């Protein structure tokens, strides 16, 4: 890392981007040094996989370099733009992994038989329907803690809430889902 004394002042990004537009790779390298850690951490929080987070981080900065002539900095830092790109790349990677997992699950379902597969699909639809009835905040909490398997603390940081608030809200959310899904799961026990 070039910057050993902490991140440069955010206004430095404007000057560095202007230099990078002229082909100054070192100026872009300083942008990279200043923002690589938060970009990587954000990617990792979403994909929960070191290799994918590293790839996404590199893709985000490669895209920034490619689009440097058209890139507009809001306020004074490139970090918000980089985080939006990182989120989009991470979600796309997560969707790709989900599709791959679904294909593998379908192959597994065929081996288990059509009745078991039909029950699993019906239960998955019921869960999705129940989640869609939740408030937007509870849907996001469900995604973070149940789908992405983040810890309460990680979810709290993502939502800007406290650990206790996330724990309590998730407990109520799970109870509500159990109540909603009871008619769908009674014959499965």
Please report whether residue 1 resides in a domain. Answer: no
Same domain, 84 and 124: no
For 92-105, the three-class secondary structure string (H helix, E strand, C coil) is: HHHHHHHHHHHHHH
Q: Are residues 131 and 67 in the same domain?
A: no
How many C-beta neighbours within 10 Å does residue 2 have?
10
**CATH code, domain with 73:** 1.10.1740.10
Residue that finishes a domain, picked among 59, 92, 125: 92
Looking at the fold, whether 122 and 85 belong to one and the same domain comes out as no
Q: Both 123 and 88 in a single domain? A: no
What whole-number distance in Å separates Cα of residue 181 and Cα of residue 81? Answer: 40
Domain for residue 130, yes or no?
yes
Residue at 33 is within a domain? yes
pLDDT (tens, 9 = 90+) of the chain, 189 residues, equals 344 445 555 578 999 999 999 999 999 999 999 999 999 999 999 998 898 999 999 999 999 999 999 988 877 889 999 999 999 999 888 887 776 666 666 555 556 667 776 777 777 787 788 878 878 788 888 888 877 777 888 888 877 888 888 888 888 888 888 887 776 555 554
- What is the rounded CA–CA span in Å between residue 131 and residue 143? 9
CATH number for position 144? 1.10.10.10
84: in domain: yes
Domain with 84 in it: 12-92
Question: What is the count of structural domains for the chain?
Answer: 2
Q: Are residues 21 and 87 in the same domain?
A: yes
């Amino acid at each position: 890392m070039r910057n050993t004394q902490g991140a440069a002042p955010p206004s430095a990004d404007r000057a560095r981007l202007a230099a990078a537009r002229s082909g100054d790779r070192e100026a872009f390298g300083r942008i990279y040094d200043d923002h690589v850690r938060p970009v990587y951490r954000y990617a990792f929080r979403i994909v929960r996989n070191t290799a994918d987070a590293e790839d996404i981080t590199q893709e985000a900065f490669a895209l920034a370099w490619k689009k440097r002539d058209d890139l507009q900095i809001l306020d004074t830092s490139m970090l918000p733009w980089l985080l939006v790109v990182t989120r989009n790349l991470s979600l796309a990677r997560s969707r790709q992994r989900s599709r791959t997992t679904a294909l593998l699950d379908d192959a597994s379902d065929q081996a288990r038989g059509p009745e078991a597969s039909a029950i699993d699909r019906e239960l998955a639809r019921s869960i999705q329907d129940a989640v869609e009835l939740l408030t937007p905040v509870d849907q996001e909490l469900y995604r973070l803690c149940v789908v992405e398997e983040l810890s309460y603390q990680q979810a709290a940081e993502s939502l800007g809430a406290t650990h206790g608030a996330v724990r309590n809200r998730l407990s109520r959310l799970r109870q509500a889902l159990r109540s909603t899904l009871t008619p769908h799961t009674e014959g499965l026990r």
